[in-house]
Amino acid sequence: MINILGMTLGISCALVILNFVRYESGFDHHYQLADRTFRVVEQMKFQDGVKYLNTTAYPLANALRSEFPQLQYVTQTHGPVTGIINNPDLSQFEPFEDHQILFVDNFYLQIFNTDWLHGDPVTALNDLQSVVLTRSQAYKYFPEAISNGRSVLGRTINIKVPGEFEEQFKVSGIVADPPPNVTFRYSMLLPYTFYEKQDPYATGNWSGNYQGTTFLTLSPQQQPHEIEKLLPTFKSKYLSPEDNRRKSYYLQPLTDIHNDGTYGSAPGSYVLSSKYLYALTFLALLILILAAANFVNLTTAQAINRAKEVGVRKTIGSTRSQLIKQFLCETFVITLISAMLALSLTSTTLSSINELLGLIKLQLSIDNFTIVVTAGLILGVTFLAGLYPAIAISRWNALKALNTNLSTGAHNNTPIRKSLVVLQFAICQVLLGATLIVAWQLKFMNNKDLGFEQQEIVNLPIPEYDLERLEAFRTRLQQNPYIQQVSFASGVPTSHNLKLGTTFRLKSRPEESKLPAEMKVTDQHYLETYQLEMLAGTGVSMAKNDGQFTGFVVNKNLVDLLGLSPQEAIGQQIVINEGEAPIIGVVADFHNVSLRDDIEPCLIFNWYPDFLWEAGIKILPGRSIETLEFIEQSWKEFFPQSVYRFQFFQDYLNGIYATEKLLLTFVNAGAVLAIIIGCLGLYGLIVFSTSMRIKEIGVRKVLGASSSQIINLFSAEYIKLIGMAFIIATPLSWIALNKWLDGFVYRIDIGIGIFLLTLLIMLLVAAISAGFRMWKVIGSNPVNALRSE
């Protein structure tokens, strides 16, 4: 029973993790041209480092197309962007918000092949104001599409992208929804030509702040380095001398994008580094090994009880190979039962994981792959776990097996069995230590002081960029006594996907000294709302009426790079790409980009209201619910045309770290499982070894041993085994975990304490299961222990 239970848990855990790893490592692999398709990425050199960008200037695709006619396809995209969708035909229609509006050219659908349900793939995006909907969106906007998709072709929807445009688009095609594991998800496709016409400045600009994603597909015989080799000459033709010096282009394979953190997350997507996936696979393997080691242990142990059976079978003429076959068959049946149970357990677990993590749209399910893996596991485990006991048992000669007391047969196997036990304990300890440390690190990242306030702040989008209106909105909000601060800004302190980039230098220093920086365009209330700590100077000052900024509040990191103290920095003139102004304030460092990355130089200042995209509203703690209603009402009064949407800043942060959370879930589940499997195995072993040594306990009592002496004897044995496991496990996990932690900028330091903790847990588990089992034997009359048979 313990065999089956342990094995079932082990296999389920491995299957769940493998499924997840396969899902996460299979992103974008299904596109027919995936292995020839690359994203063009950019590296930007600065005095003290390189900045990695996954977007490139908009004119790049056209230039590549004309310079490299040998490329099969080059495509330029813009987005995905958020828009508000209206169906003008339906008066009752409630506007929808859509976050996955992607602008693509005709080549996009050649590279990223998809099933066309209606419309003509070749001409669908030819018309400037056409739109291709995914099936689910078509159903959403046109309920009649469910019965007759074709009827939707030619219908129009109204799309408003706040601050950019509001236009009518004619539905020219319906495609299948992209599968969940693609990096570039979209709900509708708009012609890139429309965006070009809409914003000719951005789309014609090589200089850097306006960027989209560019992909290319090589011809069948081409190698990526052949093209990469030509890129330096290519770029020198198009980029300004300064940009040409700093920027270089590389090709990143499409299938690497999701698992390579170098270039960060693509817009609207997330990256799960292969580092995590390896760690998870490793975890799954460890758990599987643990379960298999348990299985071998218990089977061997129990098989000794069958010594008599083996003896009898041998005397009636069973050959050794027949015996081995018999034992293998039995193992096979047990493994098969476990695997069947595991499959059903896995499918329930997978569907609950899907629900749990709706955020990143997992769709895990049992498929042929899982079945094949399971079959492989069954065979592998049968041989691993079945062969050793089978050979060991069948080797005993018939007479010995028949004659000896039960325990004698075991003597030969003791060292091997003991090393198995040690191995098992060691794996358990490695897992336990790894788990605690991974969990600790992730908790550390979650709880780390971000350098700004995150509680009780609600963020709302701002659809109109009119200063007077914003001020009126602010006044309105501040009528509510529970609202403490209202600030309008380009984004929250930890801007993840959306980052305004620029460069900065002291005006007194040469052009070459400029460094990249991140900009946050805010109003004067930003610092108070997010409670950024002032080190010197004053807060944000408002821009002049013509939009010219009047001063920068910068972070400590930026003044450090300038080699100045916060006090010295005040009053220094700073030049950025967009103009110049003096430093008027310095704030303490806060996580201005992402927790995973280093803090970057940051400039906070007021500029055109067009950059104030988001409101941050700080509410009195404990008053969110009643206040939210008020906020919504006020918002709808001021912006009746738009969709109301709010998010707690805290939730947004949790969203960014979804992959960390996910990992934590897996690691926790794995740890609990590992501990359960380990405990089951430990319990089984101890039950067995005590039952084998019940006689010994009886004999020792007859010889005058007291209960405590017997307990000491057995404890000493287990302590010795666990101690050996500890000595093996600790250095291994210490090295491995330090390696893993080195990948984090902000990491915990591991001391011996955590390992001692695992040791303690192991000892505790052993003591409980052994003590519980032995107490019965020790407490009863010795005659019960000594009775033969």
Partner 1 sequence: MIQLTNLDKYYSTKFTRTFVLKGIDLEIKSGEFVTIMGPSGAGKSTLLNIIGMLDEASAGEYLFMDEPVYKIKERKRSELHKHHIGFVFQAYHLIDELTVYENIETPLLYKGIKGKERKSMVADMLDRFNIVAKKDLFPEQLSGGQQQLVGVARAIVGQPKLLLADEPTGNLHTEQGHIIMDIFKKLNQQGMTIIQVTHSEENAQYGKRIVQLVDGMVKSDDLVAAEAG
Distance of closest approach, residue 401 Cβ to partner 1, in angstroms = 13
Residue 365 or 712 with smaller CB distance to partner 1 = 712
Q: Does 753 bind partner 1 (CB under 8 A)?
A: no
User: Quick one: which segment of 90-98, 134-142, 610-618, 778-786 binds partner 1 (CB under 8 A)?
Assistant: 778-786
Nearer to partner 1, 699 or 767 (CB): 699
Kindly state whether residue 696 participates in binding partner 1, applying the rule CB under 8 A: yes
Least CB distance to partner 1 at residue 787 (A): 9
Strand boundaries in 193-339, DSSP class E: 211-212, 214-217, 247-253
Residue 709 interacts with partner 1 (CB under 8 A): yes or no:
yes
Angle, CA 161 vertex, CA 157 and CA 167 arms, to 5°: 40
Nearest distance from residue 706's CB to partner 1, in Å?
A: 5
Under rule CB under 8 A, residue 625 binds partner 1 = no
Q: Minimal distance in Å, beta carbon 301 to partner 1?
A: 15
* Residue 555: other Cβ atoms inside 10 A: 27
Taking the complex as a whole, how short is the minimal distance between the CB of residue 402 and partner 1, in angstroms? 14
**Rounded Cα gap, residues 402 and 405, in angstroms:** 8
Q: Is 786 in the site for partner 1 (CB under 8 A)?
A: yes
| Closest-CA residue to 454 (of 660, 619, 659) | 619
**CB-nearer residue toward partner 1: 91 or 788:** 788
Residues 196-225 that bind partner 1 (CB under 8 A): none
- Residue number, 658 or 786, with CB nearest to partner 1: 786
Q: How far is the CB of 653 from partner 1 (least distance, A)?
A: 59
Q: Which CB atom, from 287 or from 785, has the smaller least distance to partner 1?
A: 785
Nearer to partner 1 among residue 391 and residue 786 (C-beta): 786
Instruction: For residue 139, give the nearest of 121, 118, 165 by alpha carbon.
Output: 118
- Residue 269 is classified by DSSP as -
Task: Give whichever of 510 and 704 is closer to partner 1, judged by the CB atom.
Answer: 704
Q: How far is the CB of 410 from partner 1 (least distance, A)?
A: 8
Least separation in angstroms between CB 704 and partner 1: 3
Among 148, 240, 706, 738, binds partner 1 (CB under 8 A): 706
Q: How far is the CB of 405 from partner 1 (least distance, A)?
A: 7
Task: Give Cα 778 distance to the centre of its chain.
Answer: 51
Window 413 to 472, contacts with partner 1 (CB under 8 A) = 414
Q: What is the DSSP string of 573-641?
A: EEEETTEEEEEEEEE-----S-TTS----EEEE---GGG--EEEEEE-TT-HHHHHHHHHHHHHHH-TT
Q: Which is nearer to partner 1, 151 or 712 (CB)?
A: 712
Cα–Cα distance, 267 to 398 (Å, whole number): 71
712 in contact with partner 1 (CB under 8 A): no
The nearer residue to partner 1, 151 or 412, going by C-beta atoms, is 412
Cβ atoms 540, 524 nearer than 8 A: yes
Listed in order, strand segments (DSSP E) in 176-245 are: 188-191, 211-212, 214-217
The distance of closest approach from Cβ of residue 784 to partner 1 in the complex, given in angstroms and rounded to an integer, is 8
398 binds partner 1 (CB under 8 A): no
Interface of this chain with partner 1, residues 544 to 563, rule: CB under 8 A? none
Please provide the distance, in angstroms rounded to a whole number, between the alpha carbons at the two ends of the chain: 23
For the chain, the residue count is: 789
Report how far residue 108's alpha carbon sits from residue 193's, in angstroms, rounded to the nearest whole number: 13
- Can you tell me the distance from the alpha carbon of 716 to that of 712, in angstroms, rounded to the nearest whole number? 6
776 binds partner 1 (CB under 8 A): no
Instruction: Pick the closer one to partner 1 by CB: 455 or 708.
Output: 708
What are φ and ψ of residue 615, in 5° steps? Answer: -100, 140
Distance between CA 190 and CA 125 in Å, rounded?
A: 7
Q: How far is the CB of 309 from partner 1 (least distance, A)?
A: 20
Taking the CB of residue 245, how many other CB atoms lie within 10 A of it?
12
- What does the alpha-carbon distance between residue 23 and residue 482 come to, in Å, rounded to a whole number? 45
- Rule CB under 8 A: choose which of 695, 762, 769, 773 binds partner 1: 695
Nearer to partner 1, 455 or 706 (CB): 706
Contact 760, 449 (CB under 8 A): no
CB of 299 to partner 1, least distance (A): 21
Interface residue with partner 1 among 545, 703, 749, 753 (CB under 8 A) is 703
Q: Which is nearer to partner 1, 401 or 442 (CB)?
A: 401
- Minimal distance, residue 305 CB to partner 1, in Å: 15
CA distance 1 to 593: 52
Cα 403 to its chain centre, rounded Å, is 60
Q: Of the candidates 475, 498, 549, which has an alpha carbon nearest to the alpha carbon of residue 81? A: 498
Is 705 a binding residue for partner 1 by CB under 8 A? The answer is yes
What are 705's two structure tokens?
């041993």
Binding-site residue total for partner 1 (CB under 8 A)? 25
According to the binding rule CB under 8 A, does residue 788 interact with partner 1?
Answer: yes
**771 is a contact residue toward partner 1 (CB under 8 A):** no
Token pair, residue 243, equals 């940009």
Closest CB 310 distance from partner 1, rounded Å: 17
Up-side HSE of residue 13: CA atoms within 13 Å toward CB? 32
Q: Which residues contact 220 (CB under 8 A, 6 or more apart)?
A: 36, 72
Distance (Å, whole) CA 139 – CA 123: 22
Q: Does 691 bind partner 1 (CB under 8 A)?
A: no
326 scored as a contact of partner 1 (CB under 8 A): no
Q: Which stretch binds partner 1 (CB under 8 A): 6-14, 107-115, 647-655, 704-712?
A: 704-712
Question: Phi/psi at 384 (nearest 5 deg)?
Answer: -60, -50
Judged by CB under 8 A, the residue of 122, 356, 472, 702 near partner 1 is 702
CB of 393 to partner 1, least distance (A): 17
Residues 399 to 418 in contact with partner 1, rule: CB under 8 A: 404-405, 407-408, 410-411, 414
The tokens for 748 are 């915990």
d(CA 726, CA 752): 12
Among 701, 729, 755, 761, binds partner 1 (CB under 8 A): 701
Interface residues with partner 1 (CB under 8 A)? 404-405, 407-408, 410-411, 414, 695-696, 698-707, 709, 781-783, 786, 788
